[in-house]
Amino acid sequence: MKDLFLADTHLVDPRDERYSRLLTFLDENRGQLRSLVMLGDIFDFWIGYRHCVFSAYIPLLESLRRLSEAGTELVFVEGNHDFHLGPYFRDTLGCRILPDGGCLERDGRKIFIAHGDLINPRDQGYRLLRRFLRHNWTRHLMMMIPPDSAWRIARWASAKSARKNGGRDRHRLPREDLLAFARSRFSEGYDTVITGHFHVPLMHREKRHTLIALGDWSTKPSYAILENGDFTLYSC
């Protein structure tokens, strides 16, 4: 049995090739996964209403339900695009939700999983915004926005940010910050650290410790597998 680690698929539209590629990949692995660990930004936009989900995500949610029925444990670390995962993930899918990341124990390994948006301790502005967006009061306010309007606002914001970047590849791996973050977890007794968020795959081993940054799911789908006590990072 394997554990599969995925991040930053940024799904929006089931007609996109990367969306259908992910569904095919998950279906091919059904019955072989001990757990599926989603490390955030799986959805380009998600907020968890109590009684409805965005229709664009139904194909993935159904795929997750089939995995869960086949015995796969679902784990979700919230990203900066998908948080307040809500009742659907918790109750319907039986998913273990780690809003800020945390500990996963597998095959005698102590693994720290995180989305990766909190690795820079100097980024106080982002931390403040993050705390505000995740506050319970903010969640209650968000739930008052009709889902169709929330979806339209999110699509508008996403298009605006894509225009601002002018189609340039803005993904960069802050290697030193990431290493410092990982070493600090290693000193707490973790032997592996896995993050997403940077869209650039990296595997770094030092002594008996392993750091993995997952890539994304755009041109080269990236994921990590833990099997027989060892990690492999794929980017193909």
In the complex, least distance from residue 70 CB atom to Mn ion, rounded to whole angstroms: 28
Name residues contacting Mn ion, limited to 196-235 (CB under 5 A).
197
Identify the DSSP state of 98.
E
Strands laid side by side in the 230-235 sheet: 96-98, 73-77, 33-38, 2-6, 222-227, 230-235
Q: Whose Cβ is closer to Mn ion: residue 40's or residue 86's? A: 40
What is the SS3 assignment for 93?
coil
Residue closer to Mn ion (CB basis): 79 or 101: 79
- 84 binding Mn ion? (CB under 5 A): no
Map the footprint of Mn ion across residues 127-186, applying CB under 5 A: none
For the beta sheet containing 202-206, the strands, ordered from the edge strand earlier in sequence to the opposite edge, are 102-106, 109-114, 192-195, 209-213, 202-206
The span from the CA of 51 to the CA of 162, in Å, is 31
Q: In angstroms, give the least distance from the CB of 131 to Mn ion.
A: 16
Interface mask (CB under 5 A) for Mn ion, residues 24-63, using x and -?
A: -----------------x----------------------
Least distance from Mn ion to the Cβ atom of residue 10, Å: 9
Rounded CA-CA distance 139/147 in Å is 13
Rg (CA), the chain: 17
Report residue 191 as tokens.
Answer: 């032997």
Nearer to Mn ion, 41 or 44 (CB): 41
According to CB under 5 A, which one of 29, 68, 80, 158 is a site residue for Mn ion? 80
Return phi, psi of residue 7, to 5°: -155, 165
Residue 79 contacts Mn ion per CB under 5 A: yes
Q: How far is the CB of 80 from Mn ion (least distance, A)?
A: 4
Contact 55, 95 (CB under 8 A): no
Q: CB nearer to Mn ion: give 92 or 200.
A: 200
**Residue number, 79 or 201, with CB nearest to Mn ion:** 79
Which residues here bind Mn ion, judged by CB under 5 A?
41, 79-80, 197
